[in-house]
């Protein structure tokens, strides 16, 4: 498609941390590099695409709406939004680990209007210009309708890339206008090998991080950077209790403090997946270090472990909703403190 100079809108869909943003930026390099295949990485076009400084490449993602937005003054509102977006570009450059979006932030109508204004001018330096929207499922309704109008209009020398880990949250009309590209979880050994070769990580630590990652390079890097924020210590202590009761539930709630709910649920998902693996005879690096995993594998049935992991996965999605924190934590911990018949 790049060779023909005509690329339809693309929808990159798959788990977080599996390379959707990376591929979007690599495509922008490939499209405009003089060497082209593969992109050289060292020319002005490649370097500015990687650092998000290319005049014909724009990246959109959920942001906090800046102060001063005034619908009666659209030019000012667009400028403020563009500035707020570009100020965060250093967090999204090619070699950076993409930040986890704030659940309270969205892609706004003003960002899409900024995009429309950018498209109205001809490319300055690119053969094909790229406009990439991360977390496209986080558009509000106004932004979605505005984007639809853009996608419906043929754009010369222009490519759109939308990324999402929740494609079912996008409107059918958006999905139908894009060429779907599916991303899947990265194999653990591939993550471990990359960490060893490119990050100079010890082999055992790399394997542990890969097993923690759930197929996501970003999660593996997050774990290596700060294991305590990746696995909540209070939840680890709760998990190690042979048969926690009401007192242990309340103590864990207190210990969790202000830890993000996704971290709390993610910790439990990881631990119970480790137990399930041990139950089926797959002893992981983490399980070999933690006797509580092996002990629970002996206590709990395979059917129960599968049900509790499904339950936790549903609660992980709930973390994105406006929920009462203490009630959520109490219900969550009480539900997994002992097997149910």
Residue 191 within a domain: no
**CATH number, residue 139:** 3.40.50.300
Residues 172 and 236 in one domain: no
As a whole number, mean pLDDT of residues 257-275 equals: 91
Pick the closest to residue 192 from 282, 284, 275 (CA basis). 284
Residues 167 and 244 in one domain: no
Instruction: Give residue 341's pLDDT.
Output: 43
pLDDT in tens, 170-209: 999 999 999 999 999 899 899 999 999 988 899 988 988 8
Distance CA 329, CA 327 (A): 6
Residue 212 within a domain: no
Residues 127 and 239 in one domain: no
Residues 99 and 23 in one domain: yes
Residue 50 within a domain: yes
For a pLDDT cut of 70, what percent of the chain falls above it? 98
Residue 341 within a domain: no
Residue 226 within a domain: no
Whether the predicted pLDDT of 294 surpasses 70: yes
Give the pTM: 0.75
Residue 225 within a domain: no
pLDDT in tens, 222-236: 888 887 777 899 999
Domain C-terminal end among 182, 199, 218 = 182
Domain, as residue range, for 284:
231-336
Our count of domains for the chain comes to 2
Could you tell me the pLDDT band of residue 338, with boundaries at 50, 70 and 90? low
Domain C-terminal end among 152, 182, 212 = 182
177 and 151 Cβ atoms separated by less than 8 Å: yes
């Amino acid at each position: 498609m790049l060779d023909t100079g005509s690329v339809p809108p693309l929808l990159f869909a798959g788990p977080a941390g599996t390379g959707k943003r990376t591929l979007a930026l690599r495509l922008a390099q490939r499209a405009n590099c003089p060497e082209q295949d593969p992109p050289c990485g060292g020319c002005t076009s490649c370097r500015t695409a990687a650092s998000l400084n290319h005049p014909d490449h724009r990246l959109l993602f959920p942001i906090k709406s800046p102060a001063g937005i005034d619908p009666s003054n659209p030019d000012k509102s667009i400028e403020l939004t563009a500035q707020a977006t570009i100020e965060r570009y250093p967090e999204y450059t090619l070699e950076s680990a993409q930040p986890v979006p704030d659940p309270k932030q969205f892609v706004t109508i003003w960002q899409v209007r900024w995009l429309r204004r950018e498209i109205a001018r001809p490319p300055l330096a690119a053969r094909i210009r790229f406009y990439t929207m991360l977390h496209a499922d986080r558009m509000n309704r106004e932004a979605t309708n505005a984007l639809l109008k853009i996608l419906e209009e043929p754009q010369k020398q222009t490519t759109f890339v939308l990324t999402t880990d929740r494609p079912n949250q996008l409107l059918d009309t958006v999905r139908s206008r894009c060429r779907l590209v599916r991303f899947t979880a990265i194999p653990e050994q591939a993550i471990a090998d990359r960490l060893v070769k490119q990050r100079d990580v010890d082999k055992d630590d790399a394997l542990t991080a890969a097993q923690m990652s759930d197929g996501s390079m970003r999660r593996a890097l997050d774990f290596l950077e700060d294991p305590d924020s990746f696995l909540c210590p209070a939840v680890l202590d709760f998990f190690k209790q042979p048969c926690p009761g009401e007192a242990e539930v309340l103590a864990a709630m207190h210990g969790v403090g202000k830890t993000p709910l996704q971290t709390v649920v993610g910790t439990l998902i990881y631990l119970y997946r480790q137990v399930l693996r041990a139950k089926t005879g797959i002893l992981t690096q983490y399980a070999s270090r933690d006797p509580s995993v092996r002990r629970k594998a002996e206590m709990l049935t395979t059917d129960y472990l599968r049900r509790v992991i499904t339950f936790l996965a549903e609660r992980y999605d709930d973390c994105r909703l406006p929920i009462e924190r203490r009630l959520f934590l109490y219900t969550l911990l009480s539900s997994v403190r002992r097997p149910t018949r």
